[in-house]
Copies of this chain bind each other. A is one copy, B any other.
Amino acid sequence: MAVPENKNLLRALTRQTVTPPPVWLMRQAGRYLPEYRAVRADAGSFLDLCYTPELAAEVTLQPIRRFQLDGAILFSDILVVADGLGRKVTFDEGPKLEPLRDASELESLQPDRVCERAAPVFETVRRVRRELPANTTLIGFAGAPWTVATYMVEGGGSRDFQRVKSWAYRAPESFARLIDVLVDVTSRYLNAQIGAGAETVQLFDSWAGVLPELPFRRWSLEPIRAVIANVHAVHPEVPVIVFARGAGANYEMLAAESGADAIGIDATTPLGWARDHVQSRCAVQGNLDPALLVAGGAALDAEIDRIVATLGRRPFVFNLGHGVLPETPPEHVAQLVARVRKPR
């Protein structure tokens, strides 16, 4: 299936070199925008916002109106899947979950409930798709199995990931059952987003960077590869982006073996290395430091230029190396978009 000429993001993700490169930003809909804060204030809980299509669609579209980005990412949260499985999830300075501590609780998970509970998310996708400008690509997403598992087992964020790692190290067979459940429901959840209108999907493996090489392969890479295979089996034409934070030298393995169409690299990844070891295998997406977007000024322009100069000659999507920070002045985002699109 040919990619429409006006969909720059989709073109780059299907490994075409696009000049200037398409641009979108992780967490482009969020607290740094006053219009987001206004919706958020009226929306009840954070999950209520994710499950209310009218509001979730509105906040998805806000940054597109302001900045005419090439991609609109569905407003939702990676823990919708944990919630759908029947775990208690709340947000209050970060997520809090009822922790899943061992294999005895696996039977209580409700895989068939995930897509049912996520019906409003698919409705959001349909609404956004109807309202998006023709040249804007709609991005669906989910958490990668390892990252969702860490939240489910730790009960929230963690400093050393000792609980989830203990389970994985001591009882890999039962931990694999949790991961298998997540591979299954994540695949179905993403395919349903695509069915509703998502044109590409991104897997967020935010905590891949806490795993040594072999557990990285087993708990990050292999489940991601399985999800991508399940998505491509149903939607072979839909590109999949994998953003694994902190993967370091393991980005090369991810690019070579996951089946991803694009690899999102974090802000610490050296550009020349990414060009030689990742972009040789698939499209690259990244990787401006979000703190530099807060700082702004000439340093921001210079770094944008350096990123585009190094990665822009092959399939590339401009993005941050992590999400937009709440302290970001919106005018810096406008400066970024203009600079990326500057004729060179």
Q: Which residues of A are at the interface with B, using a C-beta cutoff of 8 A? A: 160-162, 165-166, 169-170, 172, 209-216, 246-251, 253, 267-271, 273, 277, 287, 289-292, 294-295, 297, 299, 303, 306, 321, 325, 327
In the bound complex, do residue A160 and residue B291 qualify as a contact, i.e. CB atoms below 8 Å apart? yes
Chain B residue nearest in CB terms to A310: B213
Compute how far the CA of A170 lies from the CA of B294 in the bound complex, rounded to whole angstroms. 10
Cβ of A212 and Cβ of B289 under 8 Å apart?
yes
- Determine if B295 and A269 form an interchain contact, defined as CB atoms under 8 angstroms apart: no
A291–B249 touching, CB < 8 Å: no
Report which residue of A247, A290, A299 has the largest number of chain B beta carbons within 10 angstroms of its beta carbon: A299
Residue of A165, A247, A251 ringed by the most chain B CB atoms within 10 A: A165
Query: Measured between C-beta atoms, what is the minimum distance from A36 to chain B in Å?
Result: 18
Number of identical protomers = 2
In contact, B292 and A213 (Cβ under 8 angstroms): no
Are B248 and A290 in contact, with the CB atoms below 8 A?
no
> Assuming the A-B contacts A268-B212, A268-B246, are A327 and B294 also in contact, with contact meaning beta carbons closer than 8 angstroms in the complex?
no
State which of B162, B165, B267, B295 has its C-beta within 8 Å of the C-beta of A166. Answer: B295
> CA separation between A247 and B211, bound complex, in Å?
14
A165 touches B292 (CB 8 A): yes
* Interchain CB contact under 8 A, A267 and B160: no
CA distance A214 to B289 in the complex (A): 11
Task: Give Cα A246–Cα B210 distance, bound, in whole angstroms.
Answer: 9
Return chain B residues, CB-CB under 8 Å to A321: 212
| Residues A271 and B213 in contact in the complex (CB < 8 Å), given A246-B246, A291-B160, A325-B160 | yes
Bound Cα distance A261, B301 (Å) = 37
Q: Is A295 a contact of B160 with CB atoms below 8 Å?
A: no
A209 touches B165 (CB 8 A): no
Residues in B with CB closer than 8 Å to A210 are: 268
The distance in angstroms between the C-alpha atoms of A270 and B215, with both chains bound, is 11
10 shortest interchain CB distances as A-B pairs: A248-B248, A169-B295, A165-B291, A213-B270, A249-B273, A212-B267, A212-B289, A170-B295, A249-B249, A169-B299
